[in-house]
Structure 1
Amino acid sequence: MSDAIIPIAFFVILAGAIVAVAYFQTQRGRERDRAYAEAMEGYRQAVEAARAESDAVRTQLTELNVRVKSMESMLRSVD
């Protein structure tokens, strides 16, 4: 029985080391995923802001197009 204690202790320590390494790698992966999610949230907010600005510019261009057409029609009516 005493001959089996050393190999059993070795395998228990080895299993504990493997579990510890796996745990810390998982924690590192979770932290990396959390940082990635934060970056993606920032990108999403930037895209939404750019889309809102684009819509505002598109609205202004439409208004300017209407004004230019009305000016063009006024100039054509003068001829």
Structure 2
Amino acid sequence: MAIDDYKKIRNLDAYELAALDGGVDAVGEWIAERGIGTELSVYDELDQRMLVKAAWEGCARRLREVLKEAPF
């Protein structure tokens, strides 16, 4: 599938949704551990980047988990 075709897909599949849920969980944990609130404007540059890193890693971790059970 070409990347342009992929961009036309509007519905998220179960794997994408699971990955996003993993990112949400990871970000929630990251924020709770630091106790710095949810207002991004109070985060310094490093905290902003670490928040994104937590989301990225959480998505990847959850996607790897669900792909272990994939029917392909």
TM-score (ref. length: structure 2): 0.37
Higher helix share: 1
Q: RCO greater where, 1 or 2, for CA within 8 Å and sep 6 or more?
A: 2
| Max Rg structure | 1
TM-score (ref. length: structure 1): 0.34
